[in-house]
Amino acid sequence: MVSRVFPEGFVWGAATASYQIEGAAAEDGRGPSIWDTFSRVPGAVLDGHTGDVAADHYHRVPEDVALMRELGLDAYRFSIAWPRIQPTGSGPAVRAGLDFYSRLVDELLAADIAPVATLYHWDLPQALEDEGGWMNRETAYRFADYAAIMATELGDRVAMWTTLNEPWCSAFLGYTSGGHAPGRTEGGASLAAVHHLNLAHGLAARAVRGVLGEEAPVSVTLNLHVTRADTPADAAAKARIDRIANEVFLQPMMEGSYPEQLLAETSHLTDWSFVRDGDLETIAVPLEVLGVNYYSTGRVRTGTDVALPEPGTPAADGHRAGQASPWLGCDDIEWLKQPGPYTAMGWNVDPQGMTDLLLELHERYPHQPLMITENGAAFDDVVAPDGRIHDEDRVAYLAGHLEAVGRAIDAGADVRGYFLWSLMDNYEWAYGYHKRFGMIRVDYDTLERTLKDSAHWYREVVRTSTLQPVEIAPRLG
Ligand code: GCO
């Protein structure tokens, strides 16, 4: 590997999400979200961890923005907690909630960091869930109202608006497997949640542009799954997974249609009658960038006798064992364990998957700029006696993936930037505080922040916009 210079104007950032870092769950009028509820369900989250305090970012914005400035970030991707703005998901906005994000945005701008705001990173107001949540079409309209409130409040101070983060997780972990909030297992009916999230994306994008004008920079972030198959027979299984995992969002958003084959192969699960005339036109809005979150790859084969993993062990497809499968209608498809190395999530490290994904998107949508909105890794960090965190496995992971982004750019993909997940250690959903993704360590007893070696390394990458060869850590070699 030689050193690699990234294109002029390439955006270097880091990402977080409201419920994962803010804490202050009951302060300043914030209403409960589905994660406040779900995290209190016995057994739903490891050790019953909640986001009540999290990284206490709500009270530490100046300190955290100072750290971002120290890292030299061009941009910061955060999410807005809908229940801080509308505690029950509708009605007038809470001034204190608006002020919090307004102050954050001003602090960022003062530090010369571009604010990238995600409107929905999974903390749905509980009151809306009580009315059916994403299974209820009304939620999409409420979301558009909220989007308009935020566009009015933060207006052109925000550099990029992202409607949804990973709607795959919201729909299939939230309403199919039940592994995430609200923890429901609705079977085929959960495809309604998929459609209502797609609709919410389109309505919110239009609402933001209704306030700020047609040129307002709007995006969406998808976790597109890179799935591999070894034989032509298994390629059919992969294609089915691609449709239910990726196409079910990508095609309506980018092309204004659902794949015919998907509708046919899921017709025993739902009649899709929740798709109304005009919805697909609403959903297909032009995007400033298509946000891509990438972590690892999967491998499938057409199985006959699919063995379920032991309860408590991570399944090969990443969902926790003992839960319903998120892969609707794919019970005959077997997930194979990918070759290592693995991160602390048990996810395989496969940077080439990132190159493959970016090039595939570029081929399909040659005029669509792309943005890596998340990439990073959890490892079991150790604080050395000198107080430092020598997270060389994270540096190796990040370097390998930046190299993979670079290869995609070389081959023609229009990738505009990279957001490292995550700025700081945070609440990793059903894993609570047990998994650390940050380049900044958070001591959960004192809430003290410490830059890990990966943060020092990233600062140099950002400063020079250049990736230098990295000695690959033995665990990732
Ligand atoms: C995601 C997320 C993050 C996760 C990260 C690691 O899944 O969108 O945006 O919230 O923490 O992906 O699992």
Given this model, what pLDDT does residue 285 score? 98
Given this model, what pLDDT does residue 312 score? 42
313 has pLDDT over 50: no
Given this model, what pLDDT does residue 310 score? 44
Q: Which is catalytic among the residues 334, 374, 392, 428?
A: 374
Could you identify the atom of ligand 1 that is nearest to the CA of residue 345?
A: 13
Given this model, what pLDDT does residue 181 score? 98
Which of 118, 421, 427, 437 most suits a substitution to test ligand 1, by most atoms within 8 Å of the C-beta? 421
Q: Mean pLDDT over residues 310-315, rounded?
A: 44
Number of structural domains the chain divides into: 1
Task: Tell me whether residue 472 is in a domain.
Answer: no
- Residue-wise pLDDT for 200-239, tens only, equals 999 999 999 999 999 999 999 999 999 999 999 899 999 9
Q: Which is catalytic among the residues 22, 107, 166, 392?
A: 166
Could you identify the atom of ligand 1 that is nearest to the CA of residue 20?
A: 10
Task: Tell me whether residue 473 is in a domain.
Answer: no
Task: Tell me whether residue 325 is in a domain.
Answer: yes
Specify the range with the lowest mean pLDDT, choosing from 176-185, 243-252, 390-399, 468-477.
Answer: 468-477
Average pLDDT for the chain: 95
37 has pLDDT over 80: yes
Is residue 186 part of the annotated active site? The answer reads no
91 has pLDDT over 50: yes
Which of 166, 433, 434 most suits a substitution to test ligand 1, by most atoms within 8 Å of the C-beta? 166
Record the pTM. 0.96
Q: Mean pLDDT over residues 434-460, rounded?
A: 98
- Percent of the chain whose predicted confidence (pLDDT) is above 90: 93
pLDDT band of residue 2 (cuts 50, 70, 90) is confident
Task: Tell me whether residue 232 is in a domain.
Answer: yes
Is residue 374 part of the annotated active site? The answer reads yes
- Residue-wise pLDDT for 9-32, tens only, equals 999 999 999 999 999 999 999 999
Task: Tell me whether residue 98 is in a domain.
Answer: yes
- Residue-wise pLDDT for 378-428, tens only, equals 999 999 999 999 999 999 999 999 999 999 999 999 999 999 999 999 999
233 CA distance to ligand 1 middle (Å): 32
Given this model, what pLDDT does residue 476 score? 66
Residue that wins the pLDDT comparison between 437 and 303: 437
Given this model, what pLDDT does residue 323 score? 79
Task: Tell me whether residue 276 is in a domain.
Answer: yes
Task: Tell me whether residue 476 is in a domain.
Answer: no
Given this model, what pLDDT does residue 322 score? 60
pLDDT band of residue 156 (cuts 50, 70, 90) is confident
Given this model, what pLDDT does residue 311 score? 42
Is residue 190 in contact with ligand 1, taking CB distance under 6 Å?
Answer: no
CATH number of the domain at 337, please: 3.20.20.80
Could you identify the atom of ligand 1 that is nearest to the CA of residue 437?
A: 6
- Domain of 236, in residue numbers: 4-467
315 has pLDDT over 60: no
Q: Mean pLDDT over residues 145-172, rounded?
A: 98
Task: Tell me whether residue 233 is in a domain.
Answer: yes
Convert the chain into a string of H (helix), E (strand) and C (coil): CCCEECCCCCEEEEECCHHHHCCCCCCCCCCCEHHHHHCCCCCCCHHHCCCCCCCCHHHCHHHHHHHHHHHCCCEEEEECCHHHHCCCCCCCCCHHHHHHHHHHHHHHHHCCCEEEEEEECCCCEHHHHHCCHHHCCHHHHHHHHHHHHHHHHHHHHCCEEEEEECHHHHHHHHHHHCCCCCCCCCHHHHHHHHHHHHHHHHHHHHHHHHHHCCCCCEEEEECCCEEECCCHHHHHHHHHHHHHHHHHHHHHHHHCCCCHHHHHHCCCCCCCCCCCCCHHHHHCCCCCEEEEECCCEEEEEECCCCCCCCCCCECCCCCECCCCCCCCCCCCEEEECCCCCECCCCCECCHHHHHHHHHHHHHHCCCCCEEEEEECCCCCCCECCCCCECCHHHHHHHHHHHHHHHHHHHCCCCEEEEEEECCECCCCHHHHHHCCCCCEEECCCCCCEEECHHHHHHHHHHHHCEECCCCCCHHHC
